[in-house]
Amino acid sequence: MRTSSVIKRLLGVEKALVEGVDFEGDDLVVRVRLHKRQQLRCSRCGKLCGKHDNGRGQRRWRALDCGTVKVWLEAEAPRVRCREHGVVVARVTWARAGAGFTRSFEDQVAWLAANATQSVVGQLMRVAWRTVGRVLKRVVDERRAGVDLLDNLKRIGIDETSYRRGHRYLTVVVCHDTGRLVWAHPGNSKATLEKFLEQLGKKRCQKITHVTCDGAEWIHDTMREHCKRAKVCLDAFHIVKWANDAVDEIRRELWNEQRGSGDKQLAGEIKGTRWALLKNPKNLTDKQADALAQLEADNSDLYRAYLLKEQLRLLLKQRAKEAIPLLDTWLKMAAGSGLAAFEKVAETITRQRAAIDAMLRYGLTNGRVESVNAKIRLIQQRAFGFHDPRALIALAQLTLSGLCPPLPGRAQS
């Protein structure tokens, strides 16, 4: 086999000729030239174009290392005049448009970023982490061009997750049927969600049958406006959280009352009941169980609040046939309890009743979305240093949307 053929095979270079190989310091530079039929083509659409100028002349692309040696490809980089895209750098077969790295190099960076830590990617590939962010966006843009993540959506979950301090959020959309992240965008507002629906299109909006979400009105209103057939299901976790927050509010009020009256011992005992009141009964320690027993003996408002919370939690686990009448009874009890915090919860549940009944009937929760959010937070920790949320979204899509390329030379698993 010819030496040039060996070099092309090692570097993953196709439809090109190797003109020379030299060492510059510790780096290996391979000079290549495209086959005539591949020259002067638009780097965006691939169409044959007229030459505009020589561009910057010779250009280099970082390739995968050979052993311990850095490798660069060097070739002419003229500019062409495309009817559709204007004046652009001519296409090369070994790299993506606008990249300073070969396709194999970027695919390996993307695979590592989806499966390893920041330090591993940086040390192994010898690139800065910010450079990784730009590589990920190019890889994801290309992979998405051949895959429509929004196709065949019927049951989706919508939630928001914080990605940075200062109330910076991503809105994420997950498919319940595949468990995959199908869309994410910076922001948490009606305008943000409407961008997703605009991409989905009017016809596909009408194919959405179920939507799970928290109690955010901007999600409920937007989905009911644009997806007429969709049943909006309020996640049970958030309903129980409203009750937990009400219990904790009552506990804090009672604690403040006892502190104000000078009974520090009782105030300390009330403060120590927090986790006993919020945990599921089967998970209580002996000390926490004793604290609840004391509250029951005292017949305090705090214990009545705890009972209301537990009744709500348990009824939400029942089948719709039993749960819906039980919820009617619970709302009457909460509204007449004399506990202001639970009266507010009852008002909120009444306002969101249609979405709660839908959740009970169809048995859908936001569990898949919460799982994806947890993974995004882990990815965010690995992606420390990404100042552009689009880089974080690209890494999340590589990992959670099935867009991760295989390692160079290996088939897609």
* The CATH number, out of the four listed (3.30.420.10, 3.40.50.300, 3.40.140.10, 3.30.460.20), of the domain defined by the range 155-235: 3.30.420.10
* Radius of gyration for the alpha carbons in the chain, expressed in angstroms and rounded: 29
List the beta bridge partners of residue 168: 164
The 86-89 sheet, strands edge to edge? 50-53, 79-82, 86-89
Nearest residue to 392 via CA among 182, 167, 146, 136:
136
Residue 27 gets which letter from DSSP?
Answer: E
**Numbers of helices and strands, H then E, in the chain:** 17, 12
- pLDDT, tens digit only, all 413 positions of the chain: 677 788 888 888 888 899 999 999 999 999 999 999 999 999 989 999 999 999 888 999 999 999 899 999 999 999 999 999 999 999 999 999 989 999 999 999 999 998 888 788 989 999 988 888 889 989 999 998 878 999 999 999 999 988 877 678 999 999 999 999 999 999 999 999 999 999 999 999 999 999 999 989 999 999 999 999 999 999 999 999 999 999 999 999 888 888 888 777 777 888 888 888 988 888 888 888 888 888 888 767 899 999 999 999 999 999 999 999 999 999 999 999 999 999 999 999 999 999 999 999 999 988 899 999 999 888 887 766 566 788 889 889 999 998 999 998 886 65
Q: 406: left (phi > 0), else alpha (psi -120 to 50), else beta?
A: beta
CA angle 257-262-267, nearest 5°? Answer: 55
